Amino acid sequence: EFLEDLIHTKSKNSSRQIYFTVAAESEEIVDFIAKTPMNTTYKRTLHLPVSMPINELKHYIPFDEVFEKVHFMITKAAAAECSYLDDKLTTFNNRSYTHEMPSSCYQVLAQDCTEELKFMVLLRKDSKEQHHINVKIADIDIDLQQEKHNVTVHVNG
């Protein structure tokens, strides 16, 4: 009975339905199509404000529901990630810079840019080319050091 009501309601409202199609040209550019019973609108080469994880989607296709696709893409795009590997810094907005980090000197990798300064992530390289990370969150001080294949974590000392 519920399914009958749903099908009947859908067929009654089909004249008011909108269909969207989004085709990705790249991680930053999409083509957008909106179709109503009266009109079809095309917007080509729409530049996105964030990079969408298109390549990562290949592992998850096919999705059971379209909402899973949208949720995954928005969640992944909104996640902030930066990295520093082999003197190459990749920023939160996916820009890459080559930067030779001086030994024994902390560099700011990430920080809260508000007046409150809620967190700060610092990175330094020692004379053995090992990276040391220091995270400051309010009055908590976290040190991470790699020793062989393990990571040692010290909190407040």
pLDDT of residue 2: 45
* 40 pLDDT more than 70: yes
Contacts 24+ apart (CB under 8 A), 68-77: 76/52, 77/48, 77/50, 77/51, 77/52, 77/53
- pTM of the predicted model, to two decimals? 0.47
- Which residues, at least 6 apart from 137, have a Cβ–Cβ distance to it below 8 Å? 118, 119
For range 23-47, the mean pLDDT: 84
* 6 pLDDT more than 50: no
83-120 residue pLDDT tens: 777 778 887 777 888 877 777 788 888 888 888 878 88
Rounded percentage of the chain residues whose pLDDT exceeds 70: 72
88-90 vs 96-98, strand pairing mode: antiparallel
Rounded percentage of the chain residues whose pLDDT exceeds 90: 3
| Residue spans per domain, the chain | 19-78, 83-155
Instruction: Tell me the pLDDT band of 125, cut-offs 50, 70 and 90.
Output: confident
Q: Which two tokens stand for residue 71?
A: 């949720």
pLDDT of residue 133: 87
pLDDT of residue 14: 63
Q: Any idea which of 2-16, 30-44, 118-132 has the lowest mean pLDDT?
A: 2-16
